[in-house]
Amino acid sequence: MCDPVRTSHLSSQLDRIIRWLRFRKIVPHIPPGAVVCDIGCGENAVFLRSIAPKISRGYGFDIVVKSFEDHALKISEYDLQGVIPLPDQSVHIVTLMAVLEHLTHPQEILNEIFRVLKPRGKLLLTAPTPLAKPILEFLAFRLEASIRDHKTYFWREDLKRMLTNAGFSSQHLKHSYFELYCNNDVVAEKQ
């Protein structure tokens, strides 16, 4: 029988490590003074809070967040299945870290991201590959982590097809795998 306190602590530690690995991939792409939109920002908007001193404005959207606003950040409760509540061409950077796999209609959110990005703006995306599925299922069972709502896993070609369908040019997509080919890292620049 698993000790619930120990299991919860291990799950929390693992979440922090994985989050740090994602952040490490994303932060170098964010220029000082940028307007950033973090789709699926999480309950505490940890990423936006961590980069707030570097950016001019940050917007965070997630179904699990409590809405708040301060001088640099505006965090809003938002169902990711709809229209992003921002004007056309209004942000420099959109981050989508470990979110796409949770969405029923991932193409719709990619279309919306393209709409809100300024010309030369960038989408910074991470998403798991099919290789991650058995590992995540094992961790979900052993550590009581939640992956039950993962709907899709992506290979490079899947993401490339979806991003070009959204309007991004394949010549302006940079892709790499990380975490032993279990995760995708994509930088897509809008032309």
What is the C-alpha separation between 155 and 175, in angstroms, rounded? 10
DSSP state of 123: E
**The predicted structure's pLDDT at residue 113:** 98
Low-confidence ranges of the chain (pLDDT < 50): 1-11
Please, are residues 98 and 22 in contact by the beta-carbon 8 Å criterion? yes
Domain ranges across the chain: 4-189
**The predicted structure's pLDDT at residue 80:** 81
**The predicted structure's pLDDT at residue 22:** 75
Could you tell me how many helices (H) and strands (E) the chain has, helices first?
A: 5, 8
Is the domain covering 4-189 a CATH 3.40.50.150 domain? Answer: yes
**The predicted structure's pLDDT at residue 9:** 47
**The predicted structure's pLDDT at residue 10:** 45
In degrees and rounded to multiples of 5, residue 178 shows phi and psi of: -145, 175
